[in-house]
Amino acid sequence: MNTSSHHLDNAEVTPVLIVGGGLVGLSTSLFLSRHGISSLLVERHPGTAIHPRAIGFTPPTMEMFRFAGIEEAIQEIEPPIPEGNNVPLLESLVGQEFDCLQEDIDSLFNDPSSPARGSAIAQDMLEPVLRAQAERLGGDLRFGTELVAFKQDVEGITATIREHKSQNTCMVRARFLVVADGSQSETRKQLGIGQHGIGSMGTFISMIFEADLMELFRKRHAIMCFLSNDTITVGSFVPYPGSSLRPDLFRLDVGYDADEETLADYTEERCIQLIRAAAGIPDLPVRIKTTLSWEMNALVADRFQQERAFLVGDAARTQPPSGGLGGNTGIAEAYNLAWKLAAVLRGEAGEALLTTYDIERRPVADYTSEQVALLSQQRQNEGSDGITVDIRVINRGYRYRVGAFVHETGDEQLPLAQYPHLWQGQPGTHAAHLMLKHRGKPVSTLDLIASHFVLFAGPNGQHWKEAAQNAKDVLHIPLDSYQIGTEAGDLIDTENWFCDAYGITPTGAVLVRPDGFIGWRSKGAEESKQEAQRALIGALSSLLFR
């Protein structure tokens, strides 16, 4: 299979057609390119996001961006993360504090389970970074271009795309279609995929405006706040220091009854009154940039795959903005899908591997939507009393119950999610971050995971390194292997934590997938060299559906 785009019989041919060039669509293009697979992306808007929208990207997401080669570019333009921040429930920015809904915000950006730190960058600054790197790596990105029609057959997708400016249309032939065109996805509707979940949780007016309020947020040590007063029954207030527009940009969201009012009822004068009520400053100078209405819901697509089409991002599931995990979850979906598409397109895996995208990610989407909806309802209605939702658990602590990994006896008894440090190498969970030494320099276990499988062997697991070399030769796949020891080996575990963190003995081994999830392990029975080779080849063959 030629993995580059080219022209054939008046139709363009590409391995993967991506519909939607927002945060998740751009990430998909970038991840595919890092796996050596080119793609064609179409986006109906003329450019990247012009408003901040999503803000805040967690350490696991930054690990993915590190793999994509853009972590440093993000850090160069991101705003600093103020220390000691929280999320209070206020009468107004200068008024009474009723409750603290989220403390220790720092831990969401600096997580001991990750070698990366989170970023407070806003979407309108992040998307150009994604776009530039995707184009640099060979992605074909066409803004101002829309998908007009498509049909599937047993071998691929035939699509018609139209460039807005010229109105020219052309045919595209792709092996696979990635649907990233947002919560109102027309492509999802054309595929006949329904949705399930809580549905509407309220409608809101969102006002993006300029005002001199940042010092008040700093005094409150608030990264954002929720509001409740005589003018605003339900509201949230967010600063956008990481936006490309201005450092004094803010967003106020206020709930309204869609049966009684429309966006047109929210005149500029009324919006300014609401903003002043939120700030608690009756004569606050305000310059409104834009207003829009939106509906909060928690909806998950009934399936994430329809033959050769795959849903990612808001096309796959939507959730309330509480916790700021919508964009992070969508990027994780793209990360899961990209390595599987690449393995199939490179001929290393059977196409049945692609069915595990839906099997793995849809239950996580259901869990995430439910948890974030619970968090949102409690914040709106009751303050922080009784909140048991932890964003770190939702974002990194989940496991896959079924999918592209080899089950172990008793794993059906494991919880769906828990604090990341409580996992001990069970297949279907994320590999643990440990700092090791490689040639005298510190390195994280997670930084050794690249675009292919990696085998970590214990200090007495030399036979696993030999088994890995044999598996590479037999299966014709790339596979890295490292022996981890306290004194000798490829990597030095100075704290002697590796075996405990991964739940193996010194003779054991762990196989990690390209997306950082554990695919298989041998806890450390005294296998012969031949038994180790058979076990590893069997595990890889099972994972890759060969």
274 vs 375, residue with greater confidence:
274
Backbone angles phi, psi at 470, to 5 degrees: -65, -40
DSSP E strands, 272-419: 287-301, 305-306, 309-311, 317-318
DSSP code at position 537: H
- Both tokens assigned to 218: 């700093």
For the chain, give the percent of residues with pLDDT over 70: 91
- Band (248; pLDDT cuts 50, 70, 90): confident
- Rounded to an integer, what distance in angstroms lies between the CA atom of residue 71 and that of residue 114? 14
pLDDT at 377 over 70: no
Question: In the chain, what's the furthest Cα-to-Cα distance?
Answer: 79
Tokens 């890092």 belong to 34
CA proximity to 354, closest of 310, 316, 407: 310
Q: Of the spans 103-112, 242-251, 254-263, 418-427, which averages the highest pLDDT? A: 418-427
Run of H or E including 470: helix 462-475
Q: Average pLDDT of the chain?
A: 88
pLDDT at 385 over 60: no
pLDDT of residue 438: 85
pLDDT of residue 245: 53
pLDDT of residue 316: 96
- Band (296; pLDDT cuts 50, 70, 90): confident
205 vs 194, residue with greater confidence:
194
pLDDT of residue 4: 46
What is the pLDDT averaged over residues 224-237? Answer: 84
pLDDT tens column, 252-262: 988 888 888 88
All domains of the chain, ordered by start, with CATH? 6-79+117-195+302-395 (3.50.50.60), 399-543 (3.40.30.120)
For the chain, give the percent of residues with pLDDT over 90: 58
pLDDT of residue 386: 52
pLDDT tens column, 66-113: 999 999 999 998 877 766 677 888 888 888 888 877 656 666 777 888
User: In the chain, count of helices (H) and strands (E)?
Assistant: 14, 26
- Band (181; pLDDT cuts 50, 70, 90): very high
